Amino acid sequence: MHRHPRRHYKSQNAIQPPIQVLSPAGDDEPLTITMLGAGQEVGRSCCVIEHRGKKIVCDAGLHPAHPGLGSLPFIDEVDWSTVDAILVTHFHVDHAAALPYIMEKTNFKDGNGKVYMTHATKAIYGLTMMDTVRINDQNPDVSGKLYDEADVQSSWQSTIAVDYHQDIVISGGLRFTPYHAGHVLGASMFMIEIAGLKILYTGDYSREEDRHLVVAEIPPIKPDVMICESTFGVHTLPDRKEKEEQFTTLVANIVRRGGRCLMPIPSFGNGQELALLLDEFWSEHPELQNIPVYFASGLFQRGMRVYKTYVHTMNQNIRSRFARRDNPFDFKFVKWLKDPKKLNEHKGPCVVMASAQFMSFGLSRELLEDWAADSKNGVIVTGYSIEGTMARTLLSEPDHIESLKGGNIPRRLTVKEISFGAHVDYAQNSKFIQEIGAQHIVLVHGEASQMGRLRAALRDTYATRGQEINIHTPRNCEPLVLTFRQERVVKAIGSLAADRPVHGTPLKGLLVSKDFSYTLLDPKDLKDFTGLSTSTLLQKQSIPIGVDWSVIRWHLEGMYGEVEEGFDEEGKASFTIMNAVKVVQISEMVVEIQWSSNSSNDMIADSALAVLLGIDGSPATVKLTSHPHQHSHHDHSNSHKDDTTNRNSDENELIKGNEEFDKIKMFLEAHFGNVSGPNLSLAEGEEDELLLMTINIDEVIAKLDLISMRVESDSSDLKKRVETVLEMALTTLQPLSRRFIGSGVNLNLNEITITA
């Protein structure tokens, strides 16, 4: 990564151990928020959000009060090649001006990350960054030049423009949606979702509708974390109408006394708002119409074309005027001052809106130094003033100001502040935070003292309502770690969702995991909903064997309890084991195991293979082949269909049942002693006593129905004891083939893939 020495300012923001705020413990990975700028300060906004291997950076601004590399965020704390996306909320210098440096001078371009902003922001971003380069080129200090026009052009071309409310999927489990933020044209707040965790990053936002912008909207989705600006802390600003009256009165008073009124403004943002306001005020006051009102910025003039292009993103007032072919940006009295030198020829009163906003450089600083000594003149600071800038210095009304040419200049002009900065005050911010309803609030973009008072006020507000809120104020380079207990939700789709399942009933299907989300569906629906196809593997294993078919059956029944005798599709004799594996007699010397491959069937096939491989060497096999045995040999002439077998099948089943009943009775007698029954034959009228066992303990009776295997007794204790012993007996006596049923034997060769 491209690195530079960063000695200045780092001592105030040394890397701190992470703040860990842990919600109830869970296995989920933590969410880490690290401020590389705007942590307990205003300026160089840059917020890094990390969760589940995803990394998002929100904003990348410069600090207007610091020169050169010192104005950058603490970019050396991040490997920029691992960043998935950079989201830029708006075009202001303290939110976007570091972007060309990061995109062109670091290893960001070595990764796969993309940069996103709204269409209007991208249009104005290119203009403002070019203007920043132009101003820096006027600075003789080469170290202060971070990038050139080629870097700006390259970064602009690589930026992806998005629409409001557009759902942008960046990668697996990572998406975001922009929402209107007010503040300036194109400004947005981002609802970011990472693996189901939702973070709202507000950037700078406004909840007060002005002459051309909409207010910040409340997203329809409740976030888990809200990263929120705190610029004005607990201050309460006057309402808009009152501010406008104060502003126009101040301007009128300055020019009526023969003075010149300077308003330092950004080229975009509240400059357009003030131009609308002054043009309207001048049209209502004919006595002022001989006094010129200028905006002294070529960038302002070029930007008006952008404003006219994106009227559809403005409020209803502007849209309706455009619909009537009344363009509010065709100013009647506010004019573009193409050549600022003409101000030297104009000796009378005038109003000039000039950049830069903070008067640290540019035409606004030149006019300030030229006009500062005349008490008839005045400066109106119309936006938020960042600590360390000339605008903030002026608000303390010093006797002298420092000249960029060297030396001091006496300050006699008046200084007033009326903020049209389009930030929320305490009342608006507090209400918005409550309406959003996030579990965690992270305050950024505010001075430490203001941020602390805002946190205390918010806690008091929630405490009076009996609610708790988690409020965090991280410093720069101090990671904030939050852990959440997240429920994993599985969505059933396809045929599984055709009928609403009853609560508590098992739902069986194929679980598909993608992008941190889970879907349950029937395997038959897999291709329709995922595009994936399925295949079934038929496994076959041939085994040479030198014993009779009946001996094979004897060994298999000894292992599994029961096997199902039958024939395969070619008429060859076969045994089916546990509804999973088929053993086919290929010849007198070879048998073949066949099964549809899956985890359970594979285990059964392995055990059957072990049994068959051990038959030839088994002592039991030697005994069975040396002496007659009780099993009848299988006759390939369909002797299993002999009438004698059919006539005696019921009797054999009864004998088999008697053996099982005797074993159950043996278990019961071992535990309870006195057990009678079962009754296998009864006189007419006594059928209710058929197949019942009676347990008698000290005249306390329990009866076991061998048909339903249910226990009845007046004593609940005895009933529970008998049920426990019965369950143990059935578990012990039940053959393996009954306790486990395989997933089926699908040997249709036309529908499956065969693997030898």
**Residue 685 to residues 121, 690, 693: CA-CA distances in angstroms?**
94, 11, 18
Contact 128, 136 (CB under 8 A): no
Question: Which pLDDT does position 448 carry in this prediction?
Answer: 92
Question: Which pLDDT does position 642 carry in this prediction?
Answer: 47
User: Would you state the structure tokens that stand for residue 37, as one six-digit string?
Assistant: 């700028």
Contact 695, 674 (CB under 8 A): yes
User: Would you state the structure tokens that stand for residue 186, as one six-digit string?
Assistant: 């194109």
Contact 255, 288 (CB under 8 A): yes
Query: d(Cα 364, Cα 135) in Å, to the nearest integer?
Result: 12
Element containing residue 754 per DSSP (H, E) = strand 753-755
Q: What one-character DSSP code corresponds to residue 332?
A: S
Query: d(Cα 437, Cα 468) in Å, to the nearest integer?
Result: 11
Contact 428, 183 (CB under 8 A): no
Q: Which of 95, 423, 440, 472 is catalytic?
A: 423
Q: Is residue 553 classed as helix, strand or coil in its secondary structure? A: helix
Q: Where are the alpha helices (DSSP H) in 396-531?
A: 426-436, 448-464, 526-530
Q: Is residue 542 classed as helix, strand or coil in its secondary structure? A: strand
Contact 24, 366 (CB under 8 A): no
| Residue 692, beta-bridge partner list | 705
- Provide the CB-side half-sphere exposure for 382 (13 A, CA): 34
Q: What one-character DSSP code corresponds to residue 248?
A: H
| Residue 492, beta-bridge partner list | 520
The size of the chain, in residues, is: 756
**Residue 564 to residues 558, 567, 573, 694, 738: CA-CA distances in angstroms?**
13, 10, 11, 35, 12
Question: Which pLDDT does position 633 carry in this prediction?
Answer: 44
- Low pLDDT (below 50) residues in the chain: 1-16, 19-26, 629-657, 747-756
423 classed as catalytic: yes
Q: CATH classification of 31-235+424-482, choosing from 3.65.10.10, 2.30.40.10, 2.40.70.10, 3.60.15.10?
A: 3.60.15.10
Question: Which pLDDT does position 631 carry in this prediction?
Answer: 46
User: Would you state the structure tokens that stand for residue 406, as one six-digit string?
Assistant: 């060297």
Question: Which pLDDT does position 27 carry in this prediction?
Answer: 52
| Residue 201, beta-bridge partner list | 190, 227
Question: Which pLDDT does position 655 carry in this prediction?
Answer: 43
Contact 429, 417 (CB under 8 A): no
C-beta atoms surrounding 161 within 10 Å: 14
Query: d(Cα 557, Cα 364) in Å, to the nearest integer?
Result: 99
Q: 474-505: b or e for each residue (b if 16 or more CB lie within 10 Å)?
A: bbbbbbbebbbebeeeeebbbebbeeeeeeee
Q: How much of the chain, in percent, has pLDDT values that exceed 70?
A: 85
| Residue 676, beta-bridge partner list | 694
> How far apart, in Å, do the first and last CA atoms of the chain sit?
53
C-beta atoms surrounding 111 within 10 Å: 15
Residue range 131-179, pLDDT digits in tens: 778 767 666 566 668 999 999 999 999 999 999 999 999 988 899 999 9
Q: Which residues contact 256 (CB under 8 A, 6 or more apart)?
A: 349
Query: d(Cα 421, Cα 264) in Å, to the nearest integer?
Result: 12
Query: d(Cα 693, Cα 661) in Å, to the nearest integer?
Result: 9
CATH code of the domain occupying 538-619: 3.30.310
Q: How much of the chain, in percent, has pLDDT values that exceed 90?
A: 41
Query: d(Cα 528, Cα 511) in Å, to the nearest integer?
Result: 15
CATH code of the domain occupying 240-417: 3.40.50.10890
Question: Which pLDDT does position 170 carry in this prediction?
Answer: 94
Predicted model pTM: 0.65
- Provide the CB-side half-sphere exposure for 293 (13 A, CA): 22
C-beta atoms surrounding 592 within 10 Å: 17
- Provide the CB-side half-sphere exposure for 674 (13 A, CA): 8
Residue among 233, 206, 212, 237 nearest 418 (CA)? 237
Residue among 728, 658, 643 nearest 693 (CA)? 658
Question: Which pLDDT does position 223 carry in this prediction?
Answer: 96
Question: Which pLDDT does position 410 carry in this prediction?
Answer: 94
Question: Which pLDDT does position 684 carry in this prediction?
Answer: 64
SS3 of 114-152: EEEEEHHHHHHHHHHHHHHHHHHHCCCCHHHCCCCHHHH
User: Would you state the structure tokens that stand for residue 666, as one six-digit string?
Assistant: 């043996």
Query: d(Cα 278, Cα 126) in Å, to the nearest integer?
Result: 27
Contact 475, 13 (CB under 8 A): yes
Write the DSSP assignment of 560-614 as a string of letters: HS--EEEE-TTS-EEEEETTTEEEEE-SSSEEEEEEE-SHHHHHHHHHHHHHHHT
Region for residue 186 given its phi and psi (left: phi exceeds 0; alpha: psi -120 to 50; beta: otherwise): left
Question: Which pLDDT does position 748 carry in this prediction?
Answer: 47
Query: d(Cα 605, Cα 432) in Å, to the nearest integer?
Result: 64
